Amino acid sequence: MALIESPHSKILENSKNSSEIQGQQKQESLGFIPIVHVNDVYKSFDFKNNRNNNNDSNSNTTTYNLLSGEQQQQLLNSRSSMRASSSYEVLNGIDLKINEGEFVTIVGPSGCGKSTLLNIIAGLDRPDLGSVLIRGATASSNTMSTKRIMIFQEGALFPWLNVQDNVEFGLKIAKVPKEKRRQVADRYIEMVGLSKFAESFVYQLSGGMKQRVAIARALALEPEVLLMDEPFAALDVQTRDLLHEELVGIHKTTGKTILFVTHNINEAILLGDRVIVLSSVLKNIKKEFRIDIPRPRDPETPELYEIKKQILKEFEGDLQIAKRR
């Protein structure tokens, strides 16, 4: 991050909670390696040619760190001139560390790049520059592992399989023997409370049940990180509340690291140990909040209300800048 002298990074430094940064540094000096390290990631989409700058940039990513500072600057300049022509910047030097067992929520208005960030972490998309490190090792989409499992807003369950087979899918791909597969799937189907519906097909399930199956399907692969892309956005309030409760329970029992993207501020502050606010103007992390209130939380608590107000203020600030431009 310090490689590039941009006004954005300055703002970032200032806005970051200073004790938070110290905490992270202390952890690193003690030899802690974050489970996910988003290392200075840039990404832009080329809308004119209707493709993202995926293929040509792969070599850039690997060689970037070998270049001298001047050459790096040149590369960036050439990129920014290309950017100006027809592409649209989505992520501008995102730097993010997530520790084992943490429940991190990322909140931001639509179009701020939060889904893109999640896709890059999942390995479904490649960064133009920068890299994603999983336990300190570079992760690329070429070495697709089942360590980072994504849960999509629409569930993305397979309609040709019943609930049981959907949950077993990843294990089947991994060639896990049938007996074992069944055992694991049964356990997680029970965890999400759908044992009665193991034989049901996808269309017979409600929206909330579908997302539960998606959660069970992800957990069955025993991922190190669970990536959730607005998973409850399409649900009604009651179902969402119920699923929040269950997700918190699952986080507690399994101790999984969860990265949860949402545009709903309430959802973000109710769930996260850490709430990361993305800015749609800076295309970067604007502010972080650490929330040490035990879950389940009440959104009416004065502390949470205060945080919510601050996040809204950040959004408001973005809006003002966007208007002025």
Partner 1 sequence: MICRLLKEDDNALSTATTIGAAGKSNRRNGSRKIYRIDTTDVANVALFLAIFVGLWQLVTVLELWPKTLFPSPAQVAISIGELIANNSLVIGIGTTLWRLAAGFAISIAVGGMVGLAMVKFQGFGKTMSSFAVGLLTFPSIAWVPFAILLIGFNNFGILFVVVMASVFSVMISTYSAVRNVPPIYIRASKNMGAHGFSLFRHVMIPAATPSLIIGIRQAWSFAWHALIGAEMLITTLYGLGHVLSIGREFNDMSQIIAVMITIFVIGLLFDRIIFLRLEEKVRSRWGLNQHSE
Q: Per this entry, what is the length of the chain?
A: 325
51 lies in the binding site for partner 1 (CB under 8 A): no
Q: How far is the CB of 229 from partner 1 (least distance, A)?
A: 11
Q: Does 178 bind partner 1 (CB under 8 A)?
A: no
**Which string of x and - marks every residue 190-229 that binds partner 1 (by CB under 8 A)?**
---------x-xxxx------------x---x--------
Q: How far is the CB of 261 from partner 1 (least distance, A)?
A: 15
What is the rounded CA–CA span in Å between residue 203 and residue 169? 17
Which pair of structure tokens corresponds to residue 146? 């089942």
| Full 3-state SS string of 151-202 | ECCCCCCCCCCEHHHHHHHHHHHCCCCHHHHHHHHHHHHHHCCCHHHCCCEH
Amino acid in the structure at residue 137: A
Task: Name the pairing type of β-strands 87-98 and 36-46.
Answer: antiparallel
Cis? peptide before 159, omega within 30° of 0: no
Q: Does 234 bind partner 1 (CB under 8 A)?
A: no
Nearer Cβ to partner 1 (32/158): 158
SS3 state at 89 = strand
Binding track, positions 102-141, relative to partner 1; x by CB under 8 A: --------------------xxx-----------------
Identify the residue among 46, 89, 95, 154 touching partner 1 (CB under 8 A): 154
Report the nearest approach of partner 1 to the CB of residue 142 (Å).
Answer: 10
Given a contact cutoff of 8 angstroms between Cβ atoms, the answer to whether 123 and 39 are in contact is no
Q: Does 152 bind partner 1 (CB under 8 A)?
A: yes
Residues forming contacts to partner 1 in the complex (CB under 8 A) are 122-124, 144-146, 148-150, 152, 154, 156, 158-162, 169-170, 172-174, 199, 201-204, 217, 221
